[in-house]
């Protein structure tokens, strides 16, 4: 099986930690040159240093805040003007604030739509000409299992994730003829800062301990444990590899079997 990404160039967003960093780390291990994109420069510098370079990969970073689509546009355009080849784009950023959909202010939907779908679209539009020329293209969107089964208490997130899934499926149909695949990877409960944040919120809301809450999550997961970020990153890296050339337009859950749907 050909998993080699030597000589390929990847841009990975939301990547100083968690699922984005884990994806970047696996891509680097397969040989890709990786550009991290997040808002915190100090953390970016540290994250770049933690990527594998044993195959002479060259890694770098871009600073942009997904709350400001213009920043994202400017960062990617500047990057492309100096580094014209991009083969792989991994779209990802922090999740929207929790809460019931019925309680969400209209502005919360607009903010989340901008930070997620609009920024992803800006990035795709910017890199696609380069990807087409290079002849090797992989676009991955890190979304959520809520695409298939809405998660109670994440009303805005559930809504926006669905929009991204439809957008991505549409792009998969439009870009396939150029050898570009577009796939979504859907995390289930995975141990990251975001997960710790969700745990804290549930502890405050219910008065239960972290262990009690985690037991409540795990009861519905056939593998009986929370996922590891590197397990998620491996799935992303596989979809970016030559071995996954004929996989296009899918939603791949990485959830230990949590989803009850087929």
Ligand X SMILES: NC(=O)c1ccc[n+]([C@@H]2O[C@H](COP(=O)([O-])OP(=O)(O)OC[C@H]3O[C@@H](n4cnc5c(N)ncnc54)[C@H](OP(=O)(O)O)[C@@H]3O)[C@@H](O)[C@H]2O)c1
Beta carbon of residue 99, minimum distance to ligand X (angstroms, whole number): 14
* Residue 15 engages ligand X in binding (rule: CB under 6 A): yes
Which of these ranges, 51-59, 87-95, 163-171, 235-243, lies near ligand X under the rule CB under 6 A? 87-95
* Residue 39 engages ligand X in binding (rule: CB under 6 A): yes
Which residue of 60, 67, 114, 201 would you call a contact of ligand X, by CB under 6 A? 67
Beta carbon of residue 16, minimum distance to ligand X (angstroms, whole number): 4
CA distance 111 to 68: 10
* Residue 137 engages ligand X in binding (rule: CB under 6 A): no
- A 10 A CB-CB count for 228 gives 13
Nearer to ligand X, 83 or 114 (CB): 114
Nearer to ligand X, 132 or 191 (CB): 191
- A 10 A CB-CB count for 169 gives 16
* Residue 159 engages ligand X in binding (rule: CB under 6 A): no
| Locus of tokens 């439009």 | 174
| Locus of tokens 């405050």 | 204
Beta carbon of residue 61, minimum distance to ligand X (angstroms, whole number): 10
Q: Are 18 and 44 in contact (CB under 8 A)?
A: no
* Residue 233 engages ligand X in binding (rule: CB under 6 A): no
In DSSP terms, 187 is beta-bridged to: 254
Binding residues for ligand X restricted to 43-62, rule: CB under 6 A: 43
Which residue of 3, 4, 52, 65 would you call a contact of ligand X, by CB under 6 A? 65
Distance of CA 106 to CAs 109, 116, 156, Å?
A: 6, 16, 10
Compute φ and ψ for 44, nearest 5 degrees: -65, -45
List the one residue out of 259, 193, 192 whose CA is nearest residue 226: 192
**Angle at the Cα of 254 from the Cα atoms of 156 and 123, rounded to 5 degrees:** 60
Which of these ranges, 13-21, 98-106, 176-184, 238-246, lies near ligand X under the rule CB under 6 A? 13-21
* Residue 94 engages ligand X in binding (rule: CB under 6 A): yes
Binding mask 193-232 for ligand X (x = CB under 6 A): xxx-------------------------------------
List the one residue out of 80, 78, 163, 152 whose CA is nearest residue 115: 163
Applying CB under 6 A, the residues found at the interface with ligand X are 14-20, 38-40, 43, 65-67, 92-95, 142, 144, 187, 189-190, 192-195
């Amino acid at each position: 099986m050909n998993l080699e990404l030597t000589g390929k160039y990847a841009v990975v967003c939301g990547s100083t930690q968690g699922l984005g960093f884990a994806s970047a780390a696996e891509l680097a291990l397969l040989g890709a040159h990786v550009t991290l994109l997040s808002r915190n420069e100090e953390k970016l510098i540290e994250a770049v240093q933690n990527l594998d370079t044993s195959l002479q990969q060259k890694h770098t970073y871009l600073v942009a805040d997904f709350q400001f689509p213009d920043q994202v546009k400017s960062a990617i355009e500047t990057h492309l003007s100096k580094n014209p080849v991009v083969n792989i784009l991994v779209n990802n950023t922090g999740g929207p604030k929790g809460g019931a959909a019925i309680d969400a202010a209209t502005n919360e939907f607009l903010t989340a739509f901008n930070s997620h779908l609009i920024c992803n679209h800006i990035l795709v539009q910017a890199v696609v000409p380069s990807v087409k020329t290079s002849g090797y293209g992989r676009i991955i969107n890190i979304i959520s299992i809520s695409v298939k089964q809405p998660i109670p208490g994440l009303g805005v997130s559930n809504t926006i994730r669905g929009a991204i899934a439809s957008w991505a499926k549409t792009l998969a149909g439009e870009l396939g003829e150029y050898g570009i695949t577009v796939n979504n990877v859907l995390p289930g409960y995975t141990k990251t800062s975001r997960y710790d944040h969700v745990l804290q919120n549930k502890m405050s809301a219910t008065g239960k301990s972290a262990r009690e809450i985690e037991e409540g999550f795990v009861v519905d997961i056939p593998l009986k444990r929370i996922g590891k970020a590197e397990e998620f990153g491996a799935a992303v890296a596989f979809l970016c590899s030559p071995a996954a050339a004929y996989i296009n337009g899918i939603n791949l859950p990485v959830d230990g079997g949590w989803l009850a749907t087929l």
